[in-house]
Amino acid sequence: MCGIVGYTGKREAYPVVLKGLKRLEYRGYDSSGIALVNASLKVYKKKGKVSELEESVIGKDTHAHTAIGHTRWATHGEPSDRNAHPHRSSGGKLAMIHNGIIENYASIKQELLKKDYEFKSDTDTEVLLNFIEDIKLHDHCSTEQALRIALKRVVGAYCILLVDEDDPETIIAARKGSPLVIGIGKGEHFLASDASPIIEYTKEVVYVNDYEIAIVKPDELVLKNLGNEKQTPFIQKLDMELAAIEKGGYEHFMLKEIYDQPDSIFDCLRGRLHANAGTITMSGVENHLPALINAHRMVMVACGTSWHAGLIAEYLFEDLCRIPVEVEYASEFRYRNPVINKGDVIIAISQSGETADTLVALENAKEKGAFIFGVVNAVGSSIARLSDAGAYTHSGPEIGVASTKAFTGQLVVLAMMAFKIGYAKGSIDNKRYMHLLTELNSIPDKVAQILKESAAAVQSVANKYKDARDFLYLGRGYNFPVALEGALKLKEISYIHAEGYPAAEMKHGPIALVDENLPVVFVATKDKYYEKIVSNIQEIKARKGKVIAVVTEGDTIISEMADDVIYVPDADEALAPLLSVIPLQLLSYYIGIAKDLDVDKPRNLAKSVTVE
């Protein structure tokens, strides 16, 4: 959830950390703050966006070579100046920022209250910080030792950066369940929740593992486990460019990322799909092909938009591979007692690779002998490291909170997996296989065509319906999950209530909502369900509903019935979602813009859900 940045080295730390916070603001933006360590410890924090913190610090002393910063998505305590991070210990010497939730904070707080500690915030973070200070004072130990002792006691998830006024060149960091990456420079180190604040300065990074503590000085990085045993840092090269996290002339990151999709889909296919040769090269699949071909069943585990990608994958794998598939919300799967056996394949789908519920669900499944395959975007992420095998989507950084290009990247990876496994298994013949590869190869150009030819029509529809109170999204077959995704995007970006349903389910309840004020979006591209969905549209029109239809170019039937029509190129129905979702992404964007909303940072949402 929250964004964390740290720096220690030769530079002025404040501008480095402030810029990093701006780049991480998509992870949380209800308050922010910075702690600077020089001759003394200074803490500045402010409710609201990072720009409001920046304005509040004008004219104040910001000189320091060590600093930590935080942009918050509230878990404990309402957004306010006093609940913003960093928090300062009661003794005033320590300051800390924290991403995660300390579940047993209440019992620890009661212990500290009995020792006359006073608390200035409502956060679990301040409780942990004062607990560390109390251990340090009463055990007469170092800050590092006190942190280690405290972390053995606490229950929950955390990524922590801690500074001590008496040790101004050192940042002590720790993680469990929340991401932390450390950038390695010459005589300097950078710390962050993800790599976006780091790539401007270095491409050499270390991903900190769960239950590790990092002692970071300008010219030294020491990793230890909670048993105080030194660990060897594994240095990796970042495969990311600075331009990828800039807007590139677009008004918003969301619009840029929608328009990135011809390139991001091509990057996902590059080096993997060889349509003319009839091959798909995916080492994560090839090296484990027997486990995938012989899977007793597959379970797609995901949250939010990634869950919708899993639903489409269910159609793909069952249709093309003839393998039973279940699609599970990770947040439910982890708390049930699911039946998991050796021979089951769990496919984890996550943009960030850090989704807390998905991670725990995978750990539980792995303990029961399941084979774990990760489909993630973030290289070096926790899910990528936990998985037995996997495939990166190569979608590039996604800064807008509402997922767009990450979703289509997931669909492309899952489609290639299904094609490859189905062909190897013999459940699709060579003719069908070659057709699918040719169709997939054409997707980037078709997405570019939609963006070029249909964006204006989508914007016109958005302006027409921006004041609607409710939307209904309907689809069948492969396009049913697209309807769910379209409804989710509209809710996220415009705050308009929207629901997605299989079109046939409309008669089992939702049709009661239909009147002349209800826009109904039909995802109605040409497929085997086409005639059925035409009948569903007639049922809506008979009740005076407003029909917005996403149809295949050349359609002459639905285009005569619908109030508004958006065209997409023809495609095999297995790949149609990669095209039909694009107008729905644009629709949510343009309605949000028409309502003058912050489409990159929707209220109450954060990009990566690293807490339950």
Average pLDDT, 10 consecutive residues per value, the chain (612 residues): 89 94 78 93 92 93 95 78 92 92 90 92 92 94 95 89 96 90 95 87 90 95 92 82 66 92 94 94 93 93 94 97 93 81 90 78 83 86 85 86 93 97 96 97 97 96 95 94 97 95 82 84 91 89 89 93 95 96 97 94 66 49
| CATH code of the domain made up of 451-599 | 3.40.50.10490
Q: 């590059």: which residue's tokens? A: 270
Q: How far is CA 326 from CA 72, 384, 430, 433, in A?
A: 35, 21, 27, 24
Q: Which residues contact 150 (CB under 8 A, 6 or more apart)?
A: 128, 131, 132, 135
Q: Where are the beta strands (DSSP E) in 118-188?
A: 156-164, 171-176, 181-184
Ramachandran class of 216: left when φ > 0, alpha when ψ lies in -120 to 50, beta otherwise: beta
- DSSP H or E stretch at residue 235: strand 235-237
- DSSP H or E stretch at residue 493: helix 480-494
Domain 3-238 in CATH 3.30.200.20: no
**In this structure, how many other beta carbons lie within 10 angstroms of the beta carbon of residue 591?**
28
Pairing of strands 546-552, 564-568: parallel
- Which residue among the candidates 22, 42, 45, 607 is catalytic per the annotation? 607
Sheet with 325-329, strands from edge to edge, namely 325-329, 298-302, 345-350, 371-376, 389-392
CA neighbor of 43 nearest in space, from 69, 73, 10, 24: 69
Instruction: Tell me whether domains 250-441 and 451-599 share a fold.
Output: yes
At 1 the pLDDT is 58
Cα 516–519–523 angle (5° rounding)? 135
CA neighbor of 179 nearest in space, from 365, 385, 364: 385
Q: Note whether 606 and 512 are within 8 A (CB).
A: no
CA neighbor of 524 nearest in space, from 490, 562, 488, 489: 562
At 197 the pLDDT is 87
- Which residue among the candidates 2, 159, 268, 321 is catalytic per the annotation? 2
Rounded Cα distance, 384 and 381, in Å: 5
Q: Note whether 147 and 162 are within 8 A (CB).
A: yes
Catalytic status, residue 607: yes
Q: What token pair was written down for 383?
A: 């899910």
Pairing of strands 470-475, 371-376: unpaired
At 240 the pLDDT is 61
At 543 the pLDDT is 86
Work out the burial of residue 468: count CB atoms within 10 Å of its CB; fewer than 13 is exposed, 13-18 middle, 19 or more buried. Answer: middle
At 610 the pLDDT is 47
- In single-letter form, the type of residue at position 54 comes to E
Q: Note whether 401 and 606 are within 8 A (CB).
A: yes
CA neighbor of 378 nearest in space, from 400, 401, 347, 409: 409
Superfamily of domain 250-441: Glucose-6-phosphate isomerase like protein; domain 1 (3.40.50.10490)
Q: What token pair was written down for 428?
A: 């699709």
Catalytic status, residue 2: yes
User: Is the omega angle on the peptide bond into residue 86 within 30 degrees of 0, that is, cis?
Assistant: yes
List the chain domain ranges.
3-238, 250-441, 451-599
At 245 the pLDDT is 61
Is the four-CA dihedral 173, 174, 178, 180 of positive or negative sign?
positive
Q: How far is CA 305 from CA 302, 429, 479, in A?
A: 8, 31, 14
Rounded Cα distance, 246 and 229, in Å: 40
- In single-letter form, the type of residue at position 377 comes to N
